[in-house]
Chains A and B, each alone.
Chain A
Amino acid sequence: MASVPIHYYLFFCSVLFCIGVLGVLIKRNVLIILMSIELMINSINLLLAAFSAYTNDPAGQIFVFFIMVVAAAEVAIGLAIVVLIYRTTHSLDIDVLNKLKW
């Protein structure tokens, strides 16, 4: 840990996070958007673990476990919603859904 300064982790995780954000904003396919959100969440996990190791405080790593559990629940619901959408529209493109004004 000591050989790699903390701001390297900060920079790396921010870049990963931004890639996830861009993925959500640019891609139109629901599954890829879900994966991008996962990327965002995992970059945060990495950042928390890095901070935690850097400050010798276990709380950050404990939080990572909580985030993993919540992210798993979120993805389970998300995939269920994707199946629901696919049944009615036969498409995974989010632009198909325009019944409600955006």
Chain B
Amino acid sequence: MTTILSLTLLGVLVLLLGILKKKTLQLPLILVGLLTALALTISDWNTARHLFNEMLIIDNTAVAFSAVLIFSTFLIFMFAAHYYQGVQRPLDDIYAIMIFALVGAVLMTSYGNLIMLFIGIETLSIALYVLAGSHKEAITSNEATLKYFLLGSFLSGFLLFGIALIYGASGSFSLHGIQLFVIANGQNLPPMFLAGLFLLIVGLAFKIAVVPFHFWAPDVYEGTPTLLTAFMATVVKTASVVAMYRFFSHTFYGIYGVWETTIWVLAALTILLGNFTGVYQPNLKRMLAYSSISHSGYMLLAVVAFSPFTGNALLLYSLTYSVATILAFGILILVREANGNDYFTSLNGIARTNPVEAFCLTIAMLSLAGIPPLAGFMGKYFLFTTALEQGLLWLVIIAITGSAISISYYFKPIVAMYLKENEGGKLNSGVPFKAHLIFLTLLLFLLGILPFLVIGLL
């Protein structure tokens, strides 16, 4: 609760600073504010509370994932000063909307009632429609925002229809009420409930960008300003996956049915198609878009595999995925700034001119691919072993095959950077930017070597 209040207050304060034209104070205030919100969130640890008649349930899962979301946003904001340097227009609106989107994401991790889930998703989405189009002069940004808006509100309609049908069948919006209904009806759930469940899965699958509802993601990611794409690929994805995980773990704990097969198929399709299509992408940003699609497939494993440990695995996975992706997007910001595009050829030979950046991108790619000493490997290891313990052998085989395929495209930028001749490209990053990149790289090593900092928490 304090998280949501403090973040909302922070957003309003940023807008206020915009009115007072205190441009230089904005970013420091946001960074301090986000750290404060993070501290306030963590102070809720082990004080499980049910607020507003079970509208919000602040349990340890909610606290942990909120902390991951706020931390990711903090990491993204560290790039903002460099990304927006030289931009004349006031930026308080973009910053404030990002923070408001984060409030929506936090709601999605701590809801106890489908009304709150809907409010959270819409707070996040409406803010994102604006952010996707925030580069008003670029036609690609305009196109991205229109596509995202039309498809997003269309699929929100499906989500809502699903919630309405679930309400009609079970007579309740609260997770607890739905759980009682599921327990009472066991394997004989009425068709209306199943139809509602299916539509709810469709709506959430769109937000997570799961195959076959992923087609918007590469286009929208490509058109959106890069800093905000990083936000979409990490915060939005984590929040949506956690929303789905929370729904199923609260209502269906241990009760299997048709929905499990549905998510099984979705996860398998996402892992295979996301990785296969990723191989054919010509540039880094679209490649990262497909990488994020296939990673949402891996995260769905956690939704299918129920055990007390699943939450831990998902927590570690989302944290490692977020850190690695933000690091990759940090380099992407530099590449686009230096070359105006992000084709793999523009990375040629930058290992000689920019050894630090090249090394950081290599680590990010290796971590996303899941190479052993790095964080991504630990994330995948715990997720896959939990899934195996739950008897999802085939899904794990598919996931491992997918990871093997993904190595081929994660190595493309590494090959370009280290083995190709330089064509005069040089990335310009300042000292603070470089320090942040190195911090993220170290974090990937730390989480890879000591995953037990995170894994035993929940």
Contacts and interface: CB of A to CB of B under 8 A. Distances in A.
Contacts, number: 113
Interface in A1-56: 6, 10, 17, 20-21, 24, 30, 33, 37, 40-41, 43-44, 47-48, 51, 55
Interface string B138-166: 01101111110110011011001101100
Given A51-B164, A84-B136, A78 B157 contact: no
A66 B146 contact: no
B147 A97 contact: yes
B171 A37 contact: no
Interface stretch (B216-224, B336-344, B375-383): B216-224
Interface stretch (B125-133, B236-244, B430-438): B125-133
Q: Quick one: which of A21, A41, A67 has the most chain B CB within 10 A?
A: A67
B74 interface: no
Nearest to B119: A66
A47 B153 contact: no
A94 to B, nearest CB: 7
B143 A99 contact: yes
A63 B173 contact: yes
Nearest to A82: B146
Given A48-B167, A51-B168, A81-B133, A97 B157 contact: no
A101 interface: yes
B215 A102 contact: yes
B139 A89 contact: yes
6 contacts: A51-B164, A62-B115, A67-B118, A77-B149, A81-B133, A100-B147
A100 B171 contact: no
B145 A84 contact: yes
Given A37-B153, A81-B146, A84-B142, A66 B118 contact: yes
A81 to B, nearest CB: 5
Nearest to B121: A70
A66 to B, nearest CB: 6
Contacts of A44: 157, 160-161, 164
Interface residues of A, number: 41
Given A48-B164, A63-B118, 11 more contacts: A44-B164, A47-B168, A66-B119, A78-B129, A81-B129, A84-B136, A94-B146, A94-B150, A97-B143, A100-B144, A100-B223
A21 B168 CA distance: 21
B93 interface: no
Given A48-B164, A60-B167, A73-B122, A84 B133 contact: yes
Contact of B154 (A37, A47, A63, A88): A37
Chain B residues touching A, majority SS:
helix
Interface of A: 6, 10, 17, 20-21, 24, 30, 33, 37, 40-41, 43-44, 47-48, 51, 55, 57, 59-60, 62-63, 66-67, 70, 73-74, 77-78, 81-82, 84-85, 88-89, 94, 97, 99-102
A74 B149 CA distance: 9
Interface string B103-135: 000000000000100110010001001100100
Contact of B142 (A37, A62, A78, A85): A85
A39 B4 CA distance: 32
A94 B164 CA distance: 30
Contacts of B163: 63
B157 A30 contact: no
B129 A77 contact: yes
A97 B218 CA distance: 15
A66 B150 CA distance: 20
Q: Quick one: which of A37, A43, A44, A100 has the most chain B CB within 10 A?
A: A100
Contact of B146 (A21, A41, A97): A97
A67 B146 contact: no
B172 interface: yes
A55 B145 CA distance: 40
A100 B219 contact: yes
A13 to B, nearest CB: 8
Given A37-B154, A63-B173, A70-B122, A100 B143 contact: yes
B54 to A, nearest CB: 12
B107 to A, nearest CB: 12
A74 B153 contact: yes
Contact of B164 (A30, A47, A77): A47
A48 B29 CA distance: 43
Q: Which 7 A-B pairs have the closest CB atoms?
A: A40-B157, A100-B219, A97-B143, A51-B168, A70-B122, A44-B160, A47-B164
A15 to B, nearest CB: 12
